[in-house]
Every structure is written in C-alpha cells, then in structure tokens.
Structure 1
Amino acid sequence: MSDLSILKTLSSTLPVQEQLMPVLFIGHGSPMNGIEDNEFTKAWVEQASTIPLPKAVVVVSAHWFTRGTFVTAMDFPATIHDFGGFPQPLFDVEYPAPGNPQLATEMTNLVDHSTIQLDHDWGLDHGAWTVVRHMYPMANIPVLQLSLDYTKTPTEHYELARELSALRKKGVLIMGSGNMVHNLRMMNWEMIKGGGYDWALEINDQFKTLILNHEHQQLIDYKNLGKAALNAIPTPEHYLPLLYTLGLQNETEKVTLFNDKAVGGSLTMTSVRIS
C-alpha cells in the first residue's frame, strides 16, 4: 500500500464489501515470539497469506486491561514494550504501523448496549505488535487496539464483540490475542519447548471441543467447567480475547485450529480461525 493509499484510508470511512473477513484468536505466548522465527510465528505468517489484505486490523489484546472500553484513535500508535527481563533486541523493535482515527470513531458509533471511548495515549502493546509484525511486516496497514474492560462480565464482552460484527464487512481483520490456558505461576521452564500438565491438556481439549461445536455459552461460563478451568484462567485477561473472536462467529462459519501446542506446562498456544 502506498503512502497515498494509507492517507486515503485514514481519511475515509471504509466501504462495505460482500466477503466477510475472517476472525482470529491468536495464542501469542512469550514476547520473544515477536523477534523469533519459530513454528508459531511461521503459522501466523501462513494465516496472513490466506486472508484477504485487510483494510485495517483491530486487536483485542490481553495486555490492555482498563476500566471502561477504549480504542486507540491516534494517527500513529507507539510501540509499547510492556515487559521486562528480555534481551535488548526485543526492546529495540519498533512497529510503525499507522492508526485510523476515523475507524476508531466509527467503532464508538457501532455499539448500542455498551460504550467505547477514544484513547490517544496507549499504542500497540506486545499482545498486538509481536503478532502483527510477522503477519504484516511492512507496517503499512492501520492497526488499532481495543481494550478489555475489567468491570464487564464474560457475557458482556461476548455481546460487545457481536456489536462489532459490521467491521468484518468492511475488510477489517479482528483478532483476539491472549492464551486459552495461561498460568504463569505454575509454569515449568524445563517444559518450555513443549509439553503441558495433564490438567492443562485436559481443559484445552475441552475448550477446543466446545469451540468446534459452537457451544459458546459454556465457554462464556468457563468458571463452571471445574478446577482445571480455574487453573487455566487464574485471571481472565488472556482468556477474554477468545470470547471476542467467538462473538463474531456466524452460525454457518467454519472453525479451524492451528498452533495447537502446550508449552511450559501451563500455557497453550492454541489458536482459532473463523471464516
């Protein structure tokens, strides 16, 4: 996309198109995936190659947990290095994708049963840029982030996603970024290259079955799925982005899984595509 094309995108409302954009949930894992070439990042690149070129990307990241729901609305969001203890090359990364303030404003007008506020201070955290920089390395597609309101129930997050479904008809790629199973306190670094505890594999399999069978209500009510689910989701921020992806699914759409692997004992990289 040329600079002129970007400016036109920034200054105009996106037109409606016939084809629905796919929706993704990405298990983003370690920030190091942002600079590594591994099995997970290669799958992100492969997904991008089979998706129509988006007019914009909206990421619901586990790492922007707020009171109220916000969407980034600046022309050029900053690259946020929201982690510590990693090698300097990871901190040196800049992902200079443009934003799209007009699209952000349009998103605030789409919702009737909730409120989305414009944000001019956040940027792209590692739940967004570590993934998107592999998928769209030229940084020439506008990228926005949508925050997770910690005062909302899982049902309210799911319903908010449903209100954003019109974006799919405008060529916007919506992506949840987190991890279905994410318990850093129970991680085993001897298993970091691969492997999961029995409980982690069990609940991850249960999540996958429910996703493939379109049984969203049980996934919304994950606290009723037993102790394994509570171990997998000690805090909700890495799981909630999955509900945004599922909330955007139509009844007839196909679900495919990729990067279906456990690492570190208590984390799964399992990712979802709806199309």
Structure 2
Amino acid sequence: MTRTMHAATYSTFGGPGVLSLTEQPLPKVAPGEVLVRVRSAAVNPVDWKIMAGGLDGMLESTFPIIPGWDMAGVVEAVGIDVPEYAPGDEVIGYVRKDFVHGGTYAEFVSAPVRTLARKPSGMDWDAAAGLPLAGLTAYQVLNRLGTGPGMTVLVHGGAGGVGQAGIQLARHAGARVIATASEHNHDLLRSLGAEPVSYGDGLADRVRALAPAGVDVVADFVGGVLDVTTAVLAEDGRHASVADRNVVQAGGQWMWVRPDADDLDHLAELVDAGDLVVNVARTFDLADAAAAVAASIEGHTAGKITIEVSS
C-alpha cells in the first residue's frame, strides 16, 4: 500500500484560494537525499509568486504543487550515499530544487543534502524554519557586496524576515547599519542594532542626513527603491537587489539566493552563539496554509510567518 501524507497543494495557478489540504504520496528519496518529517515550514513571498504563475517562465512546474522551500524537521530516512545524516537528526533546510512540485508545506519532504544543515539547538521549530531562506538571502547578498568593518550599510526593508537577518549579519560583520521601515517598527530595528529611517517622500534626504558622505553598501530586499539607492550610494559604493532586476542597469547586482549547506551551517552557528535571532510574527496550522499565504501577501508582519506542520 502506498504511504500518504497531508500536504497543502494547488493544481492551478492563482491566489491563496487555490490552496487546499490534500493527501499526497510520500516523496521518494533519491541518492544524496533524506526524507524529513517536517515540524514547521516558513512562508516566503516567492511561494505566492510561484503560486500566481509569476515564475512559470523560469521554473518547471508539475501539478499538483506543494509550495514552500523553508523547513525545520527530523530526518525520517536517508537515501543512498548520505553519510552526513541519520534518522532522528534535527535539521533545517532551504529545500529549493530544480523544479516546482514537492515543497515543504507537507508532513514530509525529500531534501537534497546540499540544502540542509543541523538545526540550532536553542531554536524552537518555528524560528528554525524561518532561518534558511531569509538568512541565506541576507548573508549571500552582504557577502557578495564585500560588507566589512567600518562600512555603512543601508538595508531596504529592515522589518521583514530578510531585512532583520541582514541588519544582524551586517552588524556582526562590523558595519554600521541604516534600515528602512514603517515608524511603528523603528524600535524593533533599534533592538537589532540599526538606525531606522521611515519610508516615503524624502527618504533619500533622511538617509543622507545620517550618512552625508553616502553609504558603502545598499542591500535592497523590497524592490522599487532604485532611485533612493543611487541617490545615497557613495562614489565607490556597491549595491544589490533580490527584488528588482533593474539594479543591473545602475551598476548593481540582481541576486537569487542559492542553497548552500556551508552557508547554512554558518548561520546556525551564529544562532547558537547568540549573534542571530529569528522573530516569528505569526504561526498557522497546515490546514490554514491559504490564510498564512494571504497574510504574507498583505505584508504587514514584522518577521516570519510560519506553518506548524506536525508535533
């Protein structure tokens, strides 16, 4: 008899309403993969952009699709040639594959070893699930831009999951951080070590008031702010965006986060050392995955949205 699992799936592109709880076959475990019992999954904007068909020209999709790339869970079984893990190991993963089909909004997911790291011991399951994509995105952007001691970094979108990670990682690298956010999130940004500035008209002037000589690095995690970036960037400054491909025309880099076990291990070490935290804003049950996606689309949460899958 084929073993099955509960999963949130959709069989046509659309909004959150296309998502429903269904029974699906347990994933097959290829060589170099492990089967993970998912404890918690995190919702990211890329999930609903894929669901809406926005990346159909970039990624192959096979319906029904289980969304989600972020998760924390326990290894259930290992495939051929996997000396790194054994059943019972607690792991986190940015489980992005080369096609869209079997994601992490499910009781089980098959995960290539290259997408995994051991779960930080002091993190609860929801926070751990919120670390991989956001942490890797911020870490890889800041690394690519050569962020280091004595630099001034501007983070666009400081209150989001990626922005919060970016603030902490830039501070850990020895940089001064200015970050944008709505005023009600300014205390949160200060607690992470950033100097907050408000969105809206005059943003470039507000940043220049804090950094008259310009900023050395701009990390754009929201998009639509290229004019501000170019207005505040120092003459030899560097910038990148994960949300606006037009940065390339202005000398910046358009980046897409990569699964990287070594990078994820490093982030887990920072968490265990107390140098990186993940704030979870809202948590939903797997049966309410559509509501979790809708909350992400609304964009009013300061931190990660997670889905508790199993206990």
TM-score by length of structure 2 reads 0.24
Q: Which has the higher contact order (CA 8 A, sep 6+)?
A: 1
More helix by share: 1
TM-score by length of structure 1 reads 0.27
More strand by share: 2
